[in-house]
């Protein structure tokens, strides 16, 4: 497997390997410090970023490399150079390429042309690095993933999709509660349902947030207005998603030991109350910290050709 473009590219064994590597890098961050010695990793960011930019730069540095962050105004893409030509040029200088942009097609085109591994650091459709960090955080807390129920509430966009796919590959039960018109794509739901069933898990799609969180070990949400959504959509989305706000009353329907997760940035009082986000059951900031070893694990596994991918 050369690239990581979406969580569904992985096999179940790949997920297990990445989580083991990430845990190892938590305990010994510099254990592969010479893997990228004297090599660079360009990080192309067409979208703003805090956690992804900083965690990726730190992961490259821990592997001994030099991260080079660039944006659309710093390359020739806006002057007509194709993304394929850009990929070929970058690949001549780099050990790997990390890209955070809007269209999934752009990432696919970059990966097809690049002679080095390409990592999707977020697109409109996928966020696989976040999903690896999410599962690492759940595993840290509960010791195992198989059979655990994770409930995602809100907009079934890129974060929900990657979480659902990765959790299914780990044999978890996944419940996604969304209002009509906000469900994850059928393709993602069908993939997750099939993979979960193969591994003893299950996928539930519902419009009822209480139904989703019953029996859940993890309650998860994301912002209501994502990057790329027009401000004119705010009022409509807020009205549709308000019943899915995670508050103390909703958390009471989950397991007594349930935790709250959020990929951040968060808007207190919108998708989650301050009491939940800042409370003792919240792992949101541990999730953010885990983006570093998770990204380090992905880069290491790709560069050492350890991932088998789906066959």
Catalytic residue among 100, 126, 161, 262: 100
Q: What are phi and psi of 209, to 5 degrees?
A: -65, -35
Decide if 263 is catalytic. Answer: yes
Within its chain, how far is the Cα of 116 from the centroid? 21
Q: Are 220 and 243 in contact (CB under 8 A)?
A: no
Q: How far separated are the first and last CA of the chain, in Å rounded?
A: 10
Tens of pLDDT, residue by residue over 158-197, are 999 999 999 999 999 999 999 999 999 999 999 999 999 9
pLDDT in tens, 1-55: 999 999 999 999 999 999 999 999 999 999 999 999 999 999 999 999 999 999 9
Spatial contact of 99 and 120, defined as CB atoms under 8 Å apart: yes
62 assigned to active site: no
85 is catalytic: no
Of 127, 148, 149, 237, which one is the catalytic site residue?
127
What pLDDT, in 10s, does the model give residues 82-100? 999 999 999 999 999 999 9
Catalytic pick from 53, 263, 287, 296? 263
| 127 a catalytic residue | yes
Report how far residue 96's alpha carbon sits from residue 89's, in angstroms, rounded to the nearest whole number: 12
Stated pTM of the model? 0.97
Residue 230: its pLDDT value, please? 73
CA–CA distance, 55 with 172 (Å, rounded to integer): 26
Q: How many CB atoms lie within 10 A of CB 105?
A: 12
């Amino acid at each position: 497997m050369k690239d990581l473009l979406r969580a569904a590219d992985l096999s179940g064994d790949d997920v297990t390997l990445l989580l083991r590597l990430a845990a190892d890098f938590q305990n010994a961050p510099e254990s592969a410090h010479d893997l990228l010695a004297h090599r660079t990793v360009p990080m192309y960011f067409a979208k703003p970023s805090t956690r992804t930019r900083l965690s990726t730069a730190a992961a490259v540095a821990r592997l001994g490399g030099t991260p080079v962050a660039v944006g659309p105004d710093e390359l020739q893409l806006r002057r007509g150079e194709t993304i394929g030509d850009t990929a070929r040029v970058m690949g001549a200088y780099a050990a790997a390429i990390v890209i955070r942009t809007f269209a999934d097609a752009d990432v696919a085109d970059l990966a097809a042309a690049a002679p080095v591994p390409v990592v999707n650091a977020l697109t409109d459709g996928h966020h696989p690095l976040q999903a690896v960090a999410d599962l690492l955080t759940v595993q840290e807390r509960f010791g195992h993933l198989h059979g655990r129920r994770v409930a995602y509430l809100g907009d079934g966009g890129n974060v929900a999709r990657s979480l659902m796919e990765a959790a299914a590959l780990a044999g978890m039960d996944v419940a996604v509660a969304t209002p009509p018109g906000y469900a994850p794509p059928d393709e993602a739901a069908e993939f997750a349902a099939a993979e979960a069933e193969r591994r003893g898990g299950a996928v539930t799609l519902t419009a009822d947030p209480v139904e989703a969180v019953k029996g859940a070990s993890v309650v998860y949400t994301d912002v209501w207005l994502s990057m790329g959504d027009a401000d004119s959509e705010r009022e409509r989305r807020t009205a549709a998603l308000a019943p899915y706000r995670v508050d103390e009353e909703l958390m009471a329907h989950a397991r007594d030991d349930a935790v709250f997760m959020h990929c951040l940035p968060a808007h207190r009082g919108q998708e989650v109350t301050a009491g939940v986000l800042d409370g003792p059951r919240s792992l949101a900031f541990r999730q953010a910290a885990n983006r570093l070893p998770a990204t380090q694990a992905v880069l290491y596994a790709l560069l050492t050709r350890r991932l088998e991918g789906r066959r």
